[in-house]
Amino acid sequence: MIIKIFKDSEELGTALGHEFVEAVKENPHIILGLATGSSPLLTYASIAKESQERGVSFAGVKSFNLDEYLSCPLEDQTYRAFMEANLFSYIDIKKENTHFPSATGLSGYDEEIKEAGGVDFQLLGIGRNGHIGFNEPGTPADSLTHVVTLTESTRVANARFFRDDLSLVPTQAVTMGIGTIKKSKRIALIANTLDKAEPIAKLLRGEKDLECPVTALIDHPAFEVYLTEEVDAAVQKLLA
């Protein structure tokens, strides 16, 4: 595990966006694993800006998103809509090369990823309870793409995207499993807000704990953790 610490979210996003653009430049047919949430927003902005400035094309890139809501009542809050609004509309990735898991194609998603050659570079956020994708505490470390019932705390955390109305927040989602995520060749995880300090501290303690899903990645050979100074300071306090 490599820990990278940045002054603030902006510097973190710029640096990680650069890593992605470099990776695409090196391999124009790269398979990307993408995430939603607030954490990667500045990374996406940086990818959009730098790829435009440097003329790096995403036309040969394939993407597989981590997760998608089931029966989302607000069309503009689906994760596909999120990706369109925050990344896809700014780069020349082909729509047919962008993939999201769905309840109808459950077992097919892992197969599709495998057939494409496997995820080369996976971007991850982290939930306050240590979830990755929508793999809530207790999810087996070898799980593949599956349907999940969202925990109350995750729904409350995401209510801000649903007019702060909990009744509008979907109750289920489809997510890549922890086993699916672990197969990615390189993983970059962002923790840029203080509410993520606790699961990051658990991760840095280095003990696998099914109740904190991110700890399943501890022994991944190419796992990078991107922190802001503020988060790092809070983590160090928890570890002291």
Q: Which residues are catalytic?
A: 67, 129, 131, 136
35 is a contact residue toward ligand GLP (CB under 6 A): yes
Stretch that binds ligand GLP, among 29-37, 80-88, 108-116, 197-205 (CB under 6 A): 29-37
**Cα–Cα distance between 104 and 95 in angstroms, integer?**
19
CA 85 to chain centroid, in Å, comes to: 16
Q: Which of 20, 134, 223, 226 binds ligand GLP (CB under 6 A)?
A: 134
Phi/psi at 169 (5° precision): -75, 125
Give Cα 238 to chain centroid, integer Å. 24
Nearer to ligand GLP, 21 or 35 (CB): 35
> Applying CB under 6 A, which part among 4-12, 37-45, 110-118, 212-220 lies near ligand GLP?
37-45
Look-up of token digits 């925050």: 86
Decide: is 51 part of the binding site for ligand GLP (CB under 6 A).
no
Among positions 125, 170, 177, 213, the unique one binding ligand GLP when judged by CB under 6 A: 125
**Binding to ligand GLP by residue 179, rule CB under 6 A?**
no
Smallest gap from Cβ 125 to ligand GLP, in A, equals 3
Q: Quick one: which of 144, 131, 126 has its CA closest to 213?
A: 131
66 near ligand GLP (CB under 6 A):
yes
- The nearer residue to ligand GLP, 56 or 231, going by C-beta atoms, is 231
String of contacts with ligand GLP for each residue 139-178, x by CB under 6 A: ---------------x---x--------------------
Residue whose entry in the numeric block shows the structure tokens 């209510």: 159
Closest C-alpha to 146, from 107, 112, 182, 183? 107
By the rule CB under 6 A, 36 interacts with ligand GLP: yes
Alpha-carbon span 231 to 180, nearest angstrom = 27
User: First-to-last CA distance in the chain?
Assistant: 20
- Cα–Cα distance between 168 and 166 in angstroms, integer? 5
> For the purposes of burial, counting CB atoms within 10 Å of the CB of 160, is it exposed (0-12), middle (13-18) or buried (19 or more)?
exposed
Angle, helix 9-26 to helix 41-54, in steps of 10 degrees: 50
> Interface with ligand GLP by CB under 6 A: which range of 125-133, 163-171, 176-184, 215-223?
125-133
Which CB atom, from 32 or from 56, has the smaller least distance to ligand GLP?
32
Instruction: Select from 50-58, 94-102, 104-112, 127-135 the region that touches ligand GLP (CB under 6 A).
Output: 127-135
- Interaction of residue 199 with ligand GLP, rule CB under 6 A: no
**Measured CA angle at 29 (ends 28, 31), to 5 deg:** 120
Q: Which residues bind ligand GLP (CB under 6 A)?
A: 35-39, 66-67, 125-127, 133-134, 154, 158
